[in-house]
Structure 1
Amino acid sequence: MDKKKTSLYLKCKDHTVSGETFSLVWHEKYKMLCTDPAPDVKKLPDYYQSEDYISHTDSRRSLFEKMYHMVKHYALRQKLKYIVSGNQGHGKLLDIGAGTGDFLNVAKNNGWEVEGIEPSDAARRRSEEKGITLHEKTDPQFMETYESGFDVITMWHVLEHVPELQIQIGQLKALLRPNGTLFIAVPNFRSYDATHYGKFWAAYDVPRHLWHFSADAIKALFADNEMKVVRRIPMKFDAFYVSLLSEKYKTGKMNFLKAFWSGWRSNRKAAHSGEYSSIIYVIKHQNS
């Protein structure tokens, strides 16, 4: 994507791995933010090398991690309900950025034919232990093997990590069957908790998050690829989870009461504005 640097929006620190500072730059055409400088693709995996990067592990070392997995268990089933409620029934499902395979495991146990993409070697090994074999990437061989497409494609908090954003969206369009449905979940930098925590907002997560989306950005990006947003679903738990991490980044400790209050206020305000901390976008082909 052309990262035309129209203005500096914010500077953020990598609180998870490197301690480095990155800029968030406004992209006028798509009404979104871009992380600058973006790490070299070959060095990008280094920024995921942390035991605190919870989506690549099943660790339950602390109260926070135990709470994360309790909520995650509920959220996995809720995500499948969203898919079924969209009259998808059963069919072929592709999860991109599948982590340790938990969502695919739930889908498989409920009658779906599943495939998954996950670049992390450690996460793929953990998924394999659960009986879910994942592919490393959507390379030409994968695209050719699965050219018949999928009924459902999901990306749960993954699109913000993808280095070649336009290429990825083009692949999603190519892999989605004519009447298929795409589910994209991403953080929303226009939410109250993002404004409240500013440079400490955990969902900026630089430099692992290369892109920072608004609803306008998702609509425009997919419209450029002849796809349309047909529904938006709030992820209300994310406001509390992100606020808890943001408190840690801001104060050095997890203040549960302050985080709960910030998460509650964020959801309360979003009930009127629609600007939830994270949003699932339900997307279909333009002519479907």
Structure 2
Amino acid sequence: TFTLTDHLVSGDEFRLIWNEHYQCFQTHPVPEHPERFYESKDYISHSDSADTAMARVYQRAKKINLNHKLKLVRRYCGQEGVLMDIGAGTGDFVKHAQDHGCEAYGVEPNETARERAHKKGVAVYSRITVQREAIYDAVTLWHVLEHLPDLDAEIRTISKTLKPGGWLILAVPNYKSLDAKYYKSDWAAYDVPRHLWHFSRGSIQTIFKKQGFELRAVKPLWLDAFYISWLSEIYKKNPLAALSGALMGAASNFSGIFTREFSSQVYCLQKEG
């Protein structure tokens, strides 16, 4: 185990402990009132903020990633598939999918983020609704799985909404990447206590195999290494954070070409038919 600090909201300290069942690390203790750790204007995925250099870079990268994500989803579930995005935030991916002809829906528990999505004309709901018949061809979770307190229950619910042979596509940070090993307790993607779980390729395969999913492909999110490294350098109070972060991001991506361990990875899992 080792100790991590919440750099975003509280300054509180947390530990990572090994979870044998899931074969991954777990944040300890789990907050009794997790919602208060999201209450920051700097939590950009809920605020749509663009008033700092970091926020502007995040928003620009998000727009680039939207195209990449949609192409990835369509590669597996086709042009006509029905999509649900869980942890939709302010609704950008759902809106992007709808604007490109997809039937897409979003789920987001945070009220502030939902309101921002609604202002964009995107219907984002507060929770997953399980119907009598599974209706979705694909379910996406972009940096969401690590926030869910009860993994088994959430995955079972998601599975009930997916058609047999449907696709679950999720992105999570990878603690085995070069930048994670370099920054150690300052690695921004640990993001305790908002991130309750810390995954590797092996843990994702273990968790979802038990729930009837086969891992079909693993893809990198190239831009994440630069953003995470930059933020990690800020946590280290490096006055040259942007430059140092860019260099480490590039190094991590280059390393990932050979090790297949990227800073953030997209896992494409297929539900058994």
Task: Report the TM range for the smaller structure's normalisation.
Answer: over 0.9
Moved over 2 A (4+): 28-31, 146-149
Q: Does 1:217 align with 2:203?
A: yes
CA distance in structure 2 between the partners assigned to 1:123 and 1:258 by the alignment: 32
SS in 2 for 1:272: helix
| 1:257-284 CA distance string (max 9 Å, x none) | 1101111111111111111000000000
Q: Distance between the aligned counterparts of 1:167 and 1:254, measured in 2?
A: 43
3-state SS of the aligned residue for 1:38? coil
Report the Cα distance in structure 2 between the residues aligned to 1:38 and 1:192, rounded to whole angstroms: 27
- Amino acid of the structure 2 residue aligned with 1:17: V
Q: Does the residue aligned with 1:116 lie in a helix, a strand or coil? A: strand
Aligned match for 2:124, one of 122, 134, 137 = 134
In structure 2, the CA distance between the partners of 1:253 and 1:134, relative to structure 1 (3 Å rule), is farther
Note the alpha carbon deviations across 1:217-243, whole angstroms, 9 max, x for none: 000000011111100010111110000
Question: Within 5 A, what are the aligned runs for 1:40-55?
Answer: 40=32, 43-55=33-45
Conservation of the 8 A alpha-carbon contact between 2:134 and 2:160: no
Which of residues 259, 263, 267 in structure 2 aligns to 1:273? 259
2:31 maps to which of 23, 36, 39: 39
Q: What amino acid is the match of 2:224?
A: D
**Quick one: which amino acid aligns to residue 131 of structure 1?**
G
Corresponding residue for residue 3 of structure 1? none
| Among candidates 134, 159, 173, match of residue 145 of structure 2 | 159
8 Å contact kept, 2:83–2:103: yes
Q: Work out whether 1:109 is the aligned partner of 2:96.
A: no
Inter-partner Cα distance in structure 1 for 2:79 and 2:237: 46
Q: How many angstroms does 1:69 deviate by?
A: 0.9
Q: How far apart, CA to CA, are the structure 1 residues paired with 2:264 and 2:94? A: 21
Q: Is 1:65 aligned to 2:55, yes or no?
A: yes
Q: Distance in 2 between matches of 1:15 and 1:76?
A: 27
Deviation at 1:134?
1.1
Is 2:77–2:166's contact at 8 Å kept on the other side of the alignment?
no
- TM-score, normalization: structure 2? 0.97
Q: Which amino acid aligns with 2:12?
A: E
Report what 1:143 is aligned to: 130
Unaligned runs of at least 5 residues, structure 2: none
Aligned to 1:119: 109
Q: Is the 8 A contact 2:3 2:13 kept in 1?
A: yes
The aligned residue for residue 248 of structure 1 is 234
Q: Tell me how far 1:177 sits from its aligned partner.
A: 0.6
Report Cα offsets for 1:233-258 as digits up to 9, x if no partner: 10111110000000011126561111
Query: CA–CA distance in 1 between the matches of 2:134 and 2:211?
Result: 19
Q: How many residue pairs are counted as aligned between the two chains? A: 273
Q: Which runs of 5+ in 1 are unaligned?
A: 1-7
1:148–1:86 CA distance, 2 compared to 1 (3 A): closer
1:16 and 1:137 mapped to 2: Cα distance?
A: 26
CA distance 1:276–1:137, change in 2 (3 Å): same
Distance of 1:156 and 1:254 partners within structure 2: 29
- Partner Cα separation in structure 2 for residue 231 and residue 134 of structure 1: 28
Does structure 1 residue 22 correspond to structure 2 residue 8? no
- Looking at structure 2, the residues matched to 20 and 64 of structure 1 have their Cα atoms a distance apart, in angstroms, of 23
The one-letter amino acid of 2:24's match is: M
| Distance (whole Å) between structure 1 residues aligned to residue 192 and residue 95 of structure 2 | 29
Distance 2:61 2:156 in 1: 32
